[in-house]
Amino acid sequence: MTITTPAGFVASGHAAGIKPSGALDLALVATEDGRPVPMAATFTQNKAAAAPVQVSRAHLAANGGMGSAVIVSSGNANAATGTGGRADAARMCDVVAGRLGCRPEEVLVCSTGLIGYRLPMDVIEAGIPDLVATRGAGEEAAVRAATGILTTDSGRKEALYEGSGWTVAGMGKGAGMLAPDMATMLAILTTDAEVHHEALADLLRVAVRDTFNSMSVDGCTSTNDTVVLLASGRAGPVDPVDVVDGVTEVCASLAGQMAADAEGASKIAHVRVAGAASDGEAHRAARKVAESLLVKCSFNGGDPYWGRVVSELGSAGVAFDMDRVAVSYGGVTVCRDGVAADHDEEAVAAHMAGTVIDVRCELGLGDGTGVVTTVDLGHGYIDENRGTS
């Protein structure tokens, strides 16, 4: 079990026929009794947000942070589908709510897959009764749910945090934006901790900022990204600080699994910026370096060309003094006070040849720190993304 490990939740997965392969393509996570519990969610900031994101946002606003279920479909993003697509997303919630005995606005909906195609609503509507009927708290139900949300992922992505007498569980999909046809990042989390819905929204925002939002493979923002967290309260009150830790750990684990699953990538790189004017500026500078095509190419080639890193820092739109900057690879300083520093070239070469690259940039201006995790840019990325077929 994973997503159903926290007390009070059931799950299921079903092959409705959205995917031509016949693989599982619907998933459900719901409260055991269908009654609403505190629910929080974060969504893509993309103004071209897909229909299910628009509908889920409206439902979350209407249900006052109290929800019963999430339905996920995979194989088609229901994005760029207009008013018809929004009606389809709403209809999915209606049908689930009718079967669970809750209100439609207590159900959120996520979809992931190709952009620009209407959902095959006939097979989805035909499949939902089976999806709901087969829900359960056992191992097989949890596995089928975690499988039903996948697209190009190489395998299930699940994480569990065990607190003292309570747990947080998560399941996710996403291969680091490296298979953009199915690029969406989705994560559904459950916990049995008792948390007020307003506190739940706050802590989810913090956890997502520090995990999923600190990861960037290609800087593209999906139309469908969604993270949902449900809290059954079955384990009773838990110190909110502990809940933040637990949710953050589960999000971090899922984010790491997504980065590791980035198709076409051969290396992961952690870009850390310290000494910035603020944490926000550090994060922005780290993201500019992490999203630079030139820097990502140099990771691919294992080339410690710090000049590119410094050039990106200088154009990140943050406070910057060239004469104070330092850069290190794998703990070896290669640039100090803005100029080349004598260093152990063999040690740097050995670090760059590995699969995890650690780049640290010190701006020498303040206390701001930030980190963004990315991957290298090689032929594999191109090959994955030059066509949809």
Q: Is 386 in the site for a copy of itself (CB under 8 A)?
A: yes
Q: Is 313 in the site for a copy of itself (CB under 8 A)?
A: yes
Q: Token pair for residue 183?
A: 């690029």
Stretch that binds a copy of itself, among 99-107, 128-136, 242-250, 332-340 (CB under 8 A): 332-340
Binding mask 104-143 for a copy of itself (x = CB under 8 A): ----------xxxx--------------------------
Residues in Cβ contact with 339 at an 8 Å cutoff, skipping those fewer than 6 apart:
none
Q: Is 81 in the site for a copy of itself (CB under 8 A)?
A: yes
Catalytically annotated residues: 184
- Measured from the CB atom, the residue of 66 and 294 that comes closer to a copy of itself is 294
Q: Is 94 helix (H, G, I), strand (E, B) or coil?
A: helix
Q: Is 342 in the site for a copy of itself (CB under 8 A)?
A: no
Stretch that binds a copy of itself, among 121-129, 162-170, 186-194, 221-229 (CB under 8 A): 221-229
- The residue within the footprint of a copy of itself, chosen from 45, 164, 241, 342 (CB under 8 A), is 45
CA torsion, ordered 295, 298, 303, 304, to nearest 10 deg: 10
- The residue within the footprint of a copy of itself, chosen from 251, 320, 361, 370 (CB under 8 A), is 320
Q: Give me the count of residues in the chain.
A: 389
Q: Is 385 in the site for a copy of itself (CB under 8 A)?
A: yes
Residue 6 has a CB neighbour count (10 Å cut-off) of: 26
Q: Is 268 helix (H, G, I), strand (E, B) or coil?
A: strand
Shortest Å, Cβ 217 to a copy of itself: 9
Shortest Å, Cβ 350 to a copy of itself: 16
Contact between 18 and 143 (Cβ < 8 Å)? no
Within positions 222 to 261, which residues make up the interface with a copy of itself, using CB under 8 A? 222-223
Phi/psi of residue 137, each to 5°?
-105, 5
Binding footprint of a copy of itself, residue count (CB under 8 A) = 64
Q: Is 22 in the site for a copy of itself (CB under 8 A)?
A: no
Q: Is 353 in the site for a copy of itself (CB under 8 A)?
A: no
Q: Is 219 in the site for a copy of itself (CB under 8 A)?
A: yes
DSSP H stretches of helix in the chain: 51-63, 82-100, 121-133, 139-148, 197-210, 240-260, 279-290, 293-301, 306-314, 345-352, 379-385
For residues 253-288, b (16+ Cβ closer than 10 Å) or e, as one string?
bbbbbbbebbbbbbbbbbbbbbbbbbeebbbbbbbb
Shortest Å, Cβ 308 to a copy of itself: 6
Residue 91 has a CB neighbour count (10 Å cut-off) of: 18
C-alpha–C-alpha distance, residues 251 and 254, integer Å: 5
Q: Is 73 in the site for a copy of itself (CB under 8 A)?
A: no
List residues binding a copy of itself (CB under 8 A): 45-49, 77, 79-85, 114-117, 180-181, 183, 218-223, 292-294, 297-298, 300-303, 305-308, 310-315, 320, 322-323, 325, 335, 337-340, 377-379, 381-382, 385-389
